[in-house]
A and B are shown apart, each in its own frame.
Chain A
């Protein structure tokens, strides 16, 4: 059974996308990597559910494979 929500959860999705974008703006690649890495760990802990995390990783892998 799927536990990962892939429906749109933000009232204004553009605001969320923009917020992440702005956090990275002006950063060198290495600083961007560090920021993303910290963000992944913080959000993963907030979710606190291994099943959701597993599904999110699978979806990310699938998506990254298509790029």
Chain B
């Protein structure tokens, strides 16, 4: 079975303090999954000290999330772990949709060259967590405590008090902010008295991760009504180590305890593969919800990842949206803690990420409705689309076997609306678009140049001989002139740039503002706005 990695509990001096004189920490992150680990690394790289608690002492129970998006990889590049993920992961960008045994259509999620990172990698969640855990060990500002389970939370005006259960018994700490990254069954969600709002789906799915040597290409294959699994849907997707993710739709009334028995799963997989030359890595039967908390920010308790929102797995929108939460929150929390931004900046996390959660829930619900029609007419609609899709472009585009995660575009008070004319390029509220550049003849990417800038805003400028006068805290990324060379002209093109044009990038790589001819006052105003100072 999968590679479980054991970590040790060790007693911390906080546990020896009198309960009335509990230690105080700026930030306590609860949950050392991909979201909590990434958030802790990001905060530490921004100069914050972080206590990271996890109720377990190990990682690696099952593959779980496997698809990590380009956006997540770009984030992990900034956290210093992107290359390791890509080296281990399998890179893919093509998806194929089959109806019965015929290829209906295929899609390419990154059809153009000139990006550092691929559309997606597949990587077992335990590898991702393991590499992130290694990175936390390199950062002295992260205090990672295994087998530390939060059992109570008291909220006060400007801090929280936590009771934490350990193998040595309970202790208390106080924290200015608590970030709950404790997953779908979040205990902290109950402790703030909040609950989910959304929809539960009756449909059941079987996940079997199997180990086998197979010649299938590294593509995402999705079937409607395949001959080996009549009337339902199926998914096949490659992972590292010759492990393949197989996801089979079951009937609504299937008994999960029966369905997950290996002797019952084996014949299903044999019918699919046409042979029995495989071993099981992980078997799971699941139902899912598409739902979210009404608010992600409850005073000093902030929710991120699955604790705040959940979607169906068809679209890789779970872990990836959690990582987008982390990158959205880290810089804001760091600015608030260092006193450089008002506390109200945190509210923009709620605004931006709850809109993103709505978008993910909408997309994921639509995919699920297409896979599991609820009424006779819905089934007819789907049948009509699948039949028309063989010959018509419009119907191909309506076939929904999962719409894969793309970063959200934020309509946010932090953005400065365009004052100039732009015909392309990322508009304010969109994430950075990569492009190939050269630095003194050496090939680099725009995302590399941005990743060097770990702790602040950046002004991406297209040279016209002079540089805009700007705040000293803003780092410049200078393209053209004596800066980075846009040898292929793709940066100019992808940013619809003219000489002198500039993009103000937030610390999370989102566009805050853009200018054809930046002025000192214009950039300063946009910067203030993006810091929540207006």
Interface residues of A (CB under 8 A from B): 33-34, 37-38, 41-42, 45
Contact = CB atoms under 8 A, between A and B. Distances in A.
A18 to B, nearest CB: 23
A37 B384 contact: yes
Contact of B394 (A34, A37, A45): A45
Nearest to A30: B380
Nearest to A39: B384
A63 to B, nearest CB: 17
Contacts of A42: 388, 392, 394
Nearest to B382: A37
A55 to B, nearest CB: 20
Interface residues of B, number: 12
Interface string B390-421: 00101100100000000000000000000000
A37 B398 contact: no
Nearest to A38: B384
A34 to B, nearest CB: 6
A42 B387 CA distance: 12
Main secondary structure of the interface of B (DSSP, over half): helix
A33 B380 contact: yes
Contacts of A33: 377, 380
Main secondary structure of the interface of A (DSSP, over half): helix
Nearest to B376: A33
Q: Which of A33, A37, A45 has the most CB of B within 10 A?
A: A37
Contacts of A41: 381, 384-385, 388, 395, 398
Nearest to A33: B380
A42 B380 CA distance: 14
20 contacts: A33-B377, A33-B380, A34-B380, A34-B383, A37-B377, A37-B380, A37-B381, A37-B383, A37-B384, A38-B384, A38-B387, A41-B381, A41-B385, A41-B388, A41-B395, A41-B398, A42-B388, A42-B392, A42-B394, A45-B395
B397 to A, nearest CB: 9
Given A37-B383, A41-B384, 16 more contacts: A33-B377, A34-B380, A34-B384, A37-B377, A37-B380, A37-B381, A37-B384, A38-B384, A38-B388, A41-B385, A41-B388, A41-B395, A41-B398, A42-B394, A45-B394, A45-B395
A24 B388 CA distance: 18
A34 B392 CA distance: 17
B404 to A, nearest CB: 23
Interface of B: 377, 380-381, 383-385, 387-388, 392, 394-395, 398
A36 to B, nearest CB: 9
Contacts of A37: 377, 380-381, 383-384
A33 B382 CA distance: 13
A38 B395 CA distance: 10
A33 B384 CA distance: 10
A33 B377 CA distance: 8
Contacts of B387: 38
Contacts of B392: 42
A34 B394 CA distance: 18
Nearest to B395: A41
The 8 nearest A-B residue pairs measured at CB: A45-B394, A38-B384, A37-B384, A37-B380, A41-B384, A33-B380, A37-B381, A34-B380
Contacts of A34: 380, 383-384
A45 B396 CA distance: 12
A47 to B, nearest CB: 11
Contacts of B381: 37, 41
Q: Which of B384, B385, B394 has the most CB of A within 10 A?
A: B384
A45 B394 CA distance: 7
Nearest to B398: A41
A43 B283 CA distance: 44
A63 B356 CA distance: 37
Contacts of B394: 42, 45
Nearest to A41: B384
A33 B376 CA distance: 10
Contacts of B388: 38, 41-42
A42 B385 CA distance: 9
A38 B387 CA distance: 9
